[in-house]
Amino acid sequence: MRETMRFEQKNAILYSAETVLDEAVAFLQALIRIPTVNPPGEAYPTCARYIGEQLHELGYAVEYVELTPAEVAELAPYGDGLPRVNVIGRLHGSQLSPVLHFNGHMDVVPVGLGWSCDPFGGEVRNGRIFGRGAADMKGGIAAQIYAVEALRRAGLQVQGTIEQSGVVDEESTGNRNAGMGLLVERGYISPDRTDYVVITEPLHVNNICLGHRGAIWGEITTFGRQSHGSTPERGVNAVEHMADFISEAIRELRPRLQQRLNSVPIVPVSARAASLAFGTIEGGTYLNIVPERCTVTFNRRLVMSERLEDARSELCELLERRTRTQPDFRYSYSERYATGPTWVSSETSLVQAFATAIQEVLGQTPGYVCSPGTSDQRFVVNNAGIEQCIIYGPGEITQAHIADESLAIDDLLASIKVMALATAHLLGVYIP
Ligand SMILES: [Zn+2]
């Protein structure tokens, strides 16, 4: 960290954060009104341009990172061929390095049922902003941009470069993807040029998130033999095979997973154990036909102590055992996405800058926590090999993906203050 910031500078930053809040709220409302629903990945170009124009207005050099249709087909297989565009803004201070990169994903999950307000309205009620993506994580994008703007309005310049990116396809994950994965593959984020990365996902403003659990998203199909519904004895019922397998997995595997607890604190605490959940099921073609095929998707979450290979073989062992005991049991197993857990050190200048800022703004020591779901951090830490990458942003993780998703405006303000002070601590500021 640079020399201690002067008392007046700190106050000027905190005051300035208050003055940009209304603009940050308006910007967030406008972002919510662009329905970047993923899958399949709608309105990405509009959203990227909107962020890019805002960054341009605030003095950034803006670059759009686009993909050819062939690259879209390869990197976004569930994206209906819709265009993918990422946006990066660069703001140079008195020197080019170090580089602090703020990142947020523009995409939001589908709306679902049970909303009491317009999911794309950006309505403000009782001190909260409502809408799909308010917390996860258009609020983070607004906070990261206006935190840096607060420094500028306080009459300060940073000693280094600030980068801001808005990326696509975080929600659809992937071992590679068209968003953060692509920025890493193309070298926009690399150890040679990027010193620190802050991903502004919602893990509570008093927490610094250092990693996430691992995950396997996969598909299991059972195969049977079709026959007339009136003569089921002549067929093999793939749906019944699947039902048996699912209940065995729940009965036998799940209790074992529940014993395995994460070695580091996780938010929410209910997610501290390893887990397995089935997501979708599809089988059969008609009531009067014994089905020859049934497919489920599953979602396995790994705690810190687990390895991908072990999680795989544990699940496949259940399936294999059935093939040994039931001669007509046939199956296939495939994966869409797999990542091991990530975890970075808290003993870095990036983490310490944020810890100091949280202490200053909220008067408390931060929690060092793990995220239950995976995030784009894996690309930065595992693929690019950048250790100094944390998740810090406004909002509660429990607001993510729910009906009536919302973000407290107080949270937005607190995170703007924390990020502004942390940036000043990390890079150093001066009066130009
Ligand atoms: Zn998110």
Taking the centre of ligand 1 as the mean of its atom positions, its distance from the CA of residue 168, in whole angstroms, is 11
Q: Show contacts of 43-46: CB within 8 Å, 24+ apart.
A: 44/82, 44/83, 44/84, 44/85, 44/106, 44/107, 44/168, 45/83, 45/85
Taking the centre of ligand 1 as the mean of its atom positions, its distance from the CA of residue 145, in whole angstroms, is 17
Listed in sequence order, the DSSP H helices in 260-301 are none
How far is Cα 168 from Cα 122, in angstroms, rounded to an integer?
A: 20
Mean pLDDT by 10 residues, the chain (432 residues): 74 97 98 98 98 98 97 96 98 92 98 97 98 98 98 95 98 96 98 98 97 97 98 97 97 97 93 96 97 98 97 97 95 97 97 98 97 96 97 95 97 98 96 88
pLDDT of residue 66: 96
Assigned token pair, 424: 């000043």
Assigned token pair, 9: 């500078």
pLDDT of residue 1: 47
Q: What are the strands, taking DSSP E only, across 245-329?
A: 275-283, 289-290, 293-302
Taking the centre of ligand 1 as the mean of its atom positions, its distance from the CA of residue 373, in whole angstroms, is 9
Q: Which amino acid is at 210?
A: L
- The H-or-E segment that residue 72 falls in is helix 69-75
Taking the centre of ligand 1 as the mean of its atom positions, its distance from the CA of residue 144, in whole angstroms, is 14
Instruction: List the one residue out of 368, 243, 353 whose CA is nearest residue 294.
Output: 243
Whole-Å CA distances, 158 to 248, 255, 428, 432: 58, 52, 6, 9
Taking the centre of ligand 1 as the mean of its atom positions, its distance from the CA of residue 56, in whole angstroms, is 24
Taking the centre of ligand 1 as the mean of its atom positions, its distance from the CA of residue 293, in whole angstroms, is 34
Taking the centre of ligand 1 as the mean of its atom positions, its distance from the CA of residue 247, in whole angstroms, is 31
Taking the centre of ligand 1 as the mean of its atom positions, its distance from the CA of residue 171, in whole angstroms, is 7
This prediction has a pTM of 0.93
Taking the centre of ligand 1 as the mean of its atom positions, its distance from the CA of residue 155, in whole angstroms, is 32
Nearest-5° Cα angle at 373, 367 to 375: 90
Q: Which amino acid is at 353?
A: A
Q: What are the strands, taking DSSP E only, across 284-384?
A: 289-290, 293-302, 330-339, 342-343, 367-371
The pairing of beta strand 99-105 with beta strand 196-199: parallel
Ligand 1 is an ion; its neighbours by CB within 5 Å are: 136-137, 201
Taking the centre of ligand 1 as the mean of its atom positions, its distance from the CA of residue 352, in whole angstroms, is 24
pLDDT of residue 93: 87
Q: Quick check: helix, strand or coil at residue 204?
A: coil
pLDDT of residue 3: 52
Taking the centre of ligand 1 as the mean of its atom positions, its distance from the CA of residue 105, in whole angstroms, is 7
pLDDT of residue 94: 83
